[in-house]
Structure formats: C-alpha cells, structure tokens
Amino acid sequence: MVIEKIKESRFTPDVFDITTFGTAFADHMLLSWYKDGKWSEPIIKPYGKLDFTPAISVGHYGQGIFEGMKAYKGETGDVYLFRPDKNLERLNKSAERLDMPQIPEEIFMDGLKALIDLDRQWVPSTYGMSLYLRPVMFATEEAITARSSNEYLFAILTAVAPNYYNKPLSVKVADRYSRAANGGVGFAKAAGNYAGSFYPTHLAREEGYDQVIWTDDATHTFIEEAGTMNVFVRINDKLITAPTSERILDGVTRRSMIELAKAEGIDVEVRKVTVEEMHTAHKNGQLKEVFGVGTAVVVNNYVAVGYASERLELEDLPETESYGKILKKKLVDLQMGISEDPFGWRLKVEENLVEA
C-alpha cells in the first residue's frame, strides 16, 4: 500500500457539529485501479478530485456498486468496525451481478483499517455518532461501447455521520412503482437501484410522506423494504420481517437485529408479510410498530404508514416498550464498545498500522 499523507489536516473539532449526512469528508481516501485484469497497489492519499472525461463508462451504462459501513469510537478511544466481512461479501456479490471484478480481501480489509487508523481523529466518540465509510466501485473505461467496462476504480471515502436523527418519518406503501423485480439487481447494492427509487420517493414526498415502503413488483401485496432500509412490522408482541430474496437487500443491520431480538427473547418471525395483514392489524389495534433498519440511521420508527388513501397513524412507544428503540440501543451499545460482544461482531482497528 502506498501512503501519501495530507500536509496539513483539515480536521477541526467543529466538523462534528454537522447536521447533514455525507458531505464532511475526512482527510484521506483509498484508491485502487483495475486495468488489464488486475488491481493496482492501493494508494491512500488526500481526499480530492480525479480526472475523467464524459466518456467514462459508468456515466452511460451504470456499472456502479457501493457499500455503507461505520467506524465507532468507544469511551476508551478504541475504534471499531462492525461485521466488515459481511460488507466485503456483499460487495463481491454485487460485483458479480453487475459483471464487475471481485475485490480482494487484502485491498478491502487492510485498506479500510489503514484508512481509518490514519483518520482516527475524525471518528467521533459521542454516543450515536460515527465515521461513515463508503467503499465504492465503478466503471472508468473511456468508452461508450455498450458492454462491460475493462477498467474500474475501487475507492473508500469516509464522511462524518451526524447523530442519527430522531425526526419522525412517515412512509407510503408503493402501489404502482417498484424498486426491484425478479431476475434483476435488487439484492445488489447497485447505484441504479437508487436512481430508480428517487422519482417514486419524490412523489411520496408530494403526498406528505418521507419514504416509500416497497412492495413486490408483481402484485404490490407483500411488504419488502422501506426506503433504503429493511423493514420490520410488529403485530402484538411478534416482530416480522420478510425473508431476503433476489429483490430484497440482505442488510447487515437486519441480520443483526434478528439475532439481537432472539437474544432478548423477542418473538421474531422471518416470513412474508402482506400489506393487508398490516392494515388489518392496525384496524384491530394490534399494529404496534413499523420500523426500517440500516447502517446509516440504525432504526427508524415510523409515525405513519400511507396505504391507498388511508394514513395509518402509529403510536410513539417509549424507549422501554418499543422493540425498535430497545434493539437500537442494544446494537449501538455493542457497536460502540459499551456492552459485551457475545456474537464476535466488533473488530478493533489497531493503532499505528500506517508507518509515519
């Protein structure tokens, strides 16, 4: 690995005061280029611009995939990653589906650790805050030929993540648009999945909702995901989440929540759940919670679900009663090194991995 350190850090303590997500980039970035069938030796250098022409292949045909992860700082100052092996696994699944090259484990893991070690002062230690990590790969060949690119860039960027918002969100059940279809790329963290979701989300906003609850593309009767998060529905004291499929992204937070819920003795069912079941439960006063889960916001308890012309209001349960809030605290405590880690999910980032 080549390390080119920034001459003067851009870090100031007020970078942690930000309130918007994804714009406060730390000092360094990691880059590796794929050409002639192999990846270049990764380089860590100051975050900044790159040179491309408008013929860059990703801009035309969309071969672009990414991951979302976080680095956490505990009270002792130690910095941790959370289940990074799962992100590497998923990145390579996405790469396969988009006909892009696999990322070797050394580039991903060693690169990630070295980058975080170098920028460890950018990892906030305030409870609930973190440094967001964005591994990304896209097609860089200067060619507008409609075929898989022969050249790619793998990069890791890092940005300070603000304290996860507790702004109550409402979601609209999709009855016309779809995020994913069978045989498509829904299970991959592909840039195009996001591109296709922005317009329906925009329409939901015009109706007063923040996000869309995606349903199956064929019938719009099964609940699949919420915005860019996996979704849990609580009916009475049972937590239900859809099984992952070729249309549903296999979220690391979802998996972890299922295991944490089981450890808490909460009744969790992984099975298909229909919009109608949720609607009926609401009518009968049995719909206790609906929440989205994902790395960025951890858990989002929804205050309302829009279904056809109805708006199903949900009660804001207190910290001690809401499964979403209880599990969120369990997860964040584990990620930040506050609680024990019986699952072996936490990975400490060793210091001085990078020679001065």
Ligand X SMILES: *Cc1c(COP(=O)(O)O)cnc(C)c1O
How far apart are CB 352 and ligand X at their closest, in Å? 29
For residues 30 and 156, the answer to whether their CB atoms sit within 8 Å is yes
Choose one: 31-39, 222-230, 299-307, 337-345; the region binding ligand X (CB under 6 A). 222-230
Give the residue, chosen from 229, 240, 268, 326, that forms a contact with ligand X under the rule CB under 6 A.
Answer: 229
How far apart are CB 32 and ligand X at their closest, in Å? 22
How far apart are CB 256 and ligand X at their closest, in Å? 8
Helix axes 252-263, 323-335, angle to 10 degrees: 110
How far apart are CB 211 and ligand X at their closest, in Å? 11
Residue whose structure tokens are 């990892």: 123
Nearer to ligand X, 225 or 289 (CB): 225
Compute how many other C-beta atoms are within 10 angstroms of the C-beta atom of residue 310.
13
Nearer to ligand X, 5 or 93 (CB): 93
Nearer to ligand X, 226 or 278 (CB): 226
| No. of helices (H) and no. of strands (E), the chain | 8, 19
Choose one: 41-49, 102-110, 169-177, 228-236; the region binding ligand X (CB under 6 A). 228-236
How far apart are CB 112 and ligand X at their closest, in Å? 15
Half-sphere exposure of 164 (CA within 13 A, CB side): 20
Helix spans in 55-145 (H): 58-61, 84-97, 105, 111-118
For residues 11 and 122, the answer to whether their CB atoms sit within 8 Å is yes
Nearer to ligand X, 100 or 252 (CB): 252
Q: Name the percent of the chain in helix, strand, coil, to the closest 5.
A: 25, 30, 45
Nearer to ligand X, 103 or 118 (CB): 103
Site for ligand X in 148-207 (CB under 6 A): 189
Q: Determine if 301 is a binding residue for ligand X (CB under 6 A).
A: no
How far apart are CB 231 and ligand X at their closest, in Å? 9
Q: Determine if 68 is a binding residue for ligand X (CB under 6 A).
A: yes
Return phi, psi of residue 281, to 5°.
Answer: -60, -35
Nearer to ligand X, 118 or 293 (CB): 293
If you count them, how many residues does the chain have?
Answer: 356
CB-count exposure of residue 275 (10 Å: 0-12, 13-18, 19+)? buried
Q: Determine if 230 is a binding residue for ligand X (CB under 6 A).
A: yes
Nearer to ligand X, 68 or 162 (CB): 68
Whole-angstrom distance, CA of residue 209 vs CA of residue 231:
16
Compute how many other C-beta atoms are within 10 angstroms of the C-beta atom of residue 91.
23
Q: Determine if 294 is a binding residue for ligand X (CB under 6 A).
A: yes
Nearer to ligand X, 78 or 225 (CB): 225
Whole-angstrom distance, CA of residue 289 vs CA of residue 304:
10
How far apart are CB 90 and ligand X at their closest, in Å? 7
Strand pairing partners for 135?
156
Whole-angstrom distance, CA of residue 38 vs CA of residue 35:
6
Q: Determine if 251 is a binding residue for ligand X (CB under 6 A).
A: yes
| Of 224, 226, 187, the residue nearest 91 (C-alpha) | 187
Give the residue, chosen from 140, 228, 241, 300, that forms a contact with ligand X under the rule CB under 6 A.
Answer: 228
How far apart are CB 191 and ligand X at their closest, in Å? 10
- The mark string for 316-335 relative to ligand X (x by CB under 6 A, - otherwise) is --------------------
- Residue ranges in contact with ligand X by CB under 6 A: 68, 189, 225, 228-230, 249, 251-254, 294-295
